[in-house]
Amino acid sequence: MATLAQVILFAFLGGVISLVGGLLLLSNKKLAKALEAYGMPFAAGALLAAVFLDLLTDGIEEAPAGTVLTATMVGIFIFFFAERFLRWFHHHHQHGSPDPSVSLIVAGDTIHNALDGIAIAAAFLVSVPTGIVTTIAVAAHEIPQEIGDFGLLLSKGVKRSKVLLINVVSALATVVTAIITFQLGSNTELPLGVLLGISAGFLLYIALSDIIPTIHEKSTNKRLFELQPFLMILGACLVALAIQIAHHIAE
């Protein structure tokens, strides 16, 4: 059984440490852009492996398969409508001052981080290895994601020091929601199968609707085989290996 200290540590690693991507952008733009370009496909593979090889398999051990898969679909819908609301909010407040898109970026990032915290804590409620693997997948997609968020805020004229502060506070949402979820799960009987299914839905939505389309958009279309698809497969393989090692050690 995981401890609260472990959950806090790995939620911190999954959220705050992911800011390394943004910090890299502030210090070395060329290296940060390379990390964003090649880190995104790796993150997609890592997320898909974590969803199908760990979260869903563990979820089905906790609840009937139909229940878990229904929860996964619900998780996708929740994330879809959350994103749609943010876009609607931006459209209906685009004439305000300051630039409302700054608020949209911050709100979107904070929601992502909060859901990451729920996913990490739900995984730790099942087992430490599942929690560790989920944290790896979360961090893999958050590092390039933070580079993009930093870059967008800087392009909107937000000062570097303020960009850093905003993202640090936003990243702490991962830790806060992880603590709340883990405490609730430790003190009451949460439907872990459902929670893992919803978490899988969140991560699946990010991989399939956000990261993979970006990979296609940035493709040169001159060659059938490029580096990015191989990086996606590499991300999946490495997380699959991490799952095997983590569970073997636990056993």
What are the pLDDT digits (tens) for 124-153? 998 888 899 999 888 888 888 888 788 888
Q: Specify the pLDDT at position 97.
A: 46
38 pLDDT band (50/70/90 cuts)? confident
Contact 56, 68 (CB under 8 A): yes
Distance of alpha carbon 9 from alpha carbon 26, whole angstroms: 25
Count Cβ atoms below 10 Å from residue 133 Cβ, excluding itself: 27
Average pLDDT of the segment spanning 234-244: 91
Alpha carbon distance 51, 65 (integer Å)? 14
Q: CA dihedral in degrees (167, 138, 4, 108; nearest 10)? A: 40
pLDDT for the residue numbered 241? 92
**Average confidence score pLDDT of the chain:** 84
| CB-count exposure of residue 27 (10 Å: 0-12, 13-18, 19+) | exposed
pTM more than 0.85: no
At 171, the pLDDT band (50, 70, 90 cuts) reads confident
pLDDT bin (cut points 50, 70, 90) of residue 60 is very high
Examine the pLDDT at 99 and tell me if it is beyond 60. Answer: no
Residue 219 has pLDDT above 90, yes or no: no
* Region class of 221: left (phi > 0), else alpha (psi between -120 and 50), else beta: left
Is 199 within 8 Å of 75 (Cβ atoms)?
yes
Residue 218 phi/psi, 5-degree rounding, is -85, 0
Q: Do the beta carbons of residue 134 and residue 149 sit within 8 Å?
A: no
**pLDDT computed for residue 197 by the predictor:** 94
User: Which of 44-58, 96-110, 217-231, 237-251 is predicted with the least confidence, judged by mean pLDDT?
Assistant: 96-110
**Which of 43-47, 104-108, 153-157 shows the highest mean pLDDT?**
43-47
pLDDT above 70 (res 250): no
**Count helices and strands in the chain by DSSP H and E runs:** 11, 0
Q: Indicate the DSSP class of residue 17.
A: G
pLDDT of 223 strictly over 90 = no
Answer with the residue of higher pLDDT: 32 or 44.
Answer: 44
Q: Is a pLDDT exceeding 60 seen at residue 93?
A: no
Exposure b/e, 35-72, CB count within 10 A at least 16 = b: bbbebbbbbbbbbbbbbebbbbebbbebbeeebbbbbb
